[in-house]
A and B are shown apart, each in its own frame.
Chain A
Amino acid sequence: MNAALRTQVGQLARRSVLRTMRQPGQIVPALIFPLFLLAVNSGGLKSATDLPGFPTDSYLTFALAVPFMQGALFSVMNAGTDLARDIETGFLNRLALTPLRGAALLSGLLAGAVVLGVVQGMVYLSVGLIAGAELAAGAGGALVLVVLSVSVTVAFGTLGLFAALRTGSGEAVQGLFPLFFVLLFLSSMSLPLSLLQTDWFHAVASANPVSYLLQAFRSLLIEGWNLGDLALGFAIAAAIGTIGMYAATRTLKTRLVRT
């Protein structure tokens, strides 16, 4: 990365991080809502651990993977809404008058998502452990868990950027939330894949990449170091991030038309 690009990315990253930190409306729901659902589901579905084949005797530990995914879904909204606001207010047009590179813009905008991912990961894990969840992979696993959380958050954040660039509307980005929520619910969110009895649901959940991202988080919490599950989780996050970034970059080219 040359000095000019580093400066550009640095300035936009600083702006993105400050903007995220200054908006409690973005941070608080991303922290509170997943923890509320964790509390409710871990209480309400505790008896699921009595099912033969359930991988742990603590539903809280099993369910602790879910907030990490929900937090990532919030990053779609946050990253996308911020960029959409820049489009709506004309800030992106002003950037188009500068020699700013597209890659710098997108990378800088994701800095806010990275910070949010770190905060989310640490808060979810701390609350979970205080509430009695287990972390089979130990202290090193905690670090990997946060890194995985950031990777997934950034990966989904790129989809938010793409949606914002494609639609140019914050409202349209917000409208994507139910769609991503469906992805989460039609996964192995509440029960392991092996215990999903309804055939069509099992088929959908098996084809849903979110199931494998959840499994990567769960492997650290329940099993310890399962390199296969972890590698698959990181690979899926990388694939989503690459596809999202590619789509966003292509769309940005049409947005940043210099006159």
Chain B
Amino acid sequence: MTRKIALAVAWRSIHNFLSNPAFLAPGILFPLFFFTAFAGGLSAISNTPGFEFPSGYTAFQFVFVLLQSAAFGGVFTGFGIARDFETGFARRYLLAASDRRGIVAGYALAALVRSLITWTILTAVALVAGMEVGGEGVELVGLYGLAILVNATATMWAAGVAMRVRSIQGGPLMQFPVFLILFLAPVYVPLSLLSGWIHAVASVNPVTALLESGRGFISGDPTAVALAFAIGATLPVLFALWARGGLKRAEAAG
């Protein structure tokens, strides 16, 4: 039964964003834009002393943008949940669903489909732009596997906020912490080239391990894989608890 509820919610969400360019376009255009700006505008950074990344700066930035798009796929889905509460549709979901966890699962499935579309386009553009891929099959599966875990984490975070605030005015609250934690990681250069406070923060930021592992996968030199997947697997579980709390708040609000 839960599966049927999840599929129904996912189908509606997917239909909504696929049939409305205003919902679909930002999720696709923003990652492409960041990829273009970072890979194109900052390529000289790869000439700084100590910067060593065998697959080149385009691949280096591709991994960041891939994980960023994964996170924002979840955040944009959170916007959709908030909109459903504003229009009253989510309350109809709450009334109709026998197992309400299926509602959250449905939104998570929709977030994944949304991100898969973005990743397909982003990967195609990166390859056309000349991105070098040193990793092989299993390593690339690892890279996209990390992206799926990031997507699930961000979806659960945004769903938790959306179900607590139940208004699109909660958008900045969903978006800003995600933006913050992503940019407090080694975005432009490897961790070893950071210094000062940003190095200290990036060293304890869990996104750093995900980024470094992802970059290891794409260059065919797997790095910190166990740590990255341990973090990647733990975060969705923790934020699922956060989302469950949000669901209970929404239920209590009626």
Contacts and interface: CB of A to CB of B under 8 A. Distances in A.
A47 B184 contact: no
Given A44-B189, A191-B42, A51 B194 contact: no
Interface stretch (B25-33, B228-236, B243-251): B25-33
A50 interface: yes
Contacts of B193: 47
A48 interface: yes
B41 A189 contact: yes
A210 B194 CA distance: 28
A40 B197 CA distance: 10
Nearest to B188: A44
Interface string A39-66: 1110111111011000000000000000
Contacts of B87: none
A197 B44 contact: yes
Interface of B is mostly: helix
A91 interface: no
A186 B40 CA distance: 9
A169 B51 CA distance: 47
B48 A40 contact: no
Q: How large is the interface on B (under 10, 10 to 19, 20 to 34, 35 or more residues)?
A: 20 to 34
B43 A197 contact: yes
- Most chain A beta-carbon neighbours within 10 Å: one of B40, B47, B198: B40
Given A40-B183, A196-B41, A197-B44, A47 B51 contact: yes
B100 to A, nearest CB: 31
Contacts of B183: 37, 40, 44
Given A48-B45, A198-B40, 13 more contacts: A45-B189, A47-B45, A47-B194, A48-B44, A51-B47, A178-B30, A185-B34, A185-B37, A185-B41, A191-B44, A196-B41, A201-B36, A201-B43
11 contacts: A36-B180, A43-B199, A44-B186, A45-B188, A46-B195, A178-B29, A186-B37, A196-B44, A197-B43, A201-B36, A201-B41
